[in-house]
Amino acid sequence: MINDASVREFVQWANQSGRPAHQTYMRLVCHCLDAVMPALPQIAVNAYSTARAYWLRNEGSAPDLDQAQRACWEYLQSIGSSTKLDSPAVISVRAVICALYAEPSDEDFDSDTLDWFVVLLNKLGDYSAAFAKAFEAVRG
């Protein structure tokens, strides 16, 4: 399981790195999602590809992220699980949604989103090694 100390270490580093905070957080989320790929339904694979292109390769646009986010929410609503965390597929789609925000909505958005993302990953299994690997990739 990803522990609070690992998350706080990342947050402290991100806040002191001098890099754009939102982009740094989203890059970590994308790198973590690499490990979740086998659990993703196709709609989430497509959305993750959009997020990965935007955050890791500087390709695509904010409207692309918005469209991918809408598609994920529509999928969750179509299966009656937009608010339930009742299956790995639902949890993994919700995790991908975390990477689909081009801009933070408020000053706590990044840390709140990361905390929620970690809750979701911990529901899926032990992704502590993936988190550590993602942190190293972002730290570069």
How does pLDDT run across 82-139, given as a tens digit for each residue? Answer: 777 878 889 999 999 999 999 999 999 999 999 999 999 999 999 999 999 999 999 9
How does pLDDT run across 29-41, given as a tens digit for each residue? Answer: 999 999 998 878 9
Do you know the residue count of the chain? 140
In this prediction the pTM is 0.94
Task: Enumerate residues 6+ apart whose C-beta is below 8 A from 49.
Answer: none
Query: For the chain, what is the domain count?
Result: 1
Query: How large is the average pLDDT for residues 6-18?
Result: 96
- For 85, the domain range is 4-139
Judge residue 14's burial from the number of C-beta atoms within 10 Å of its C-beta, 0-12 exposed, 13-18 middle, 19 or more buried.
Answer: buried
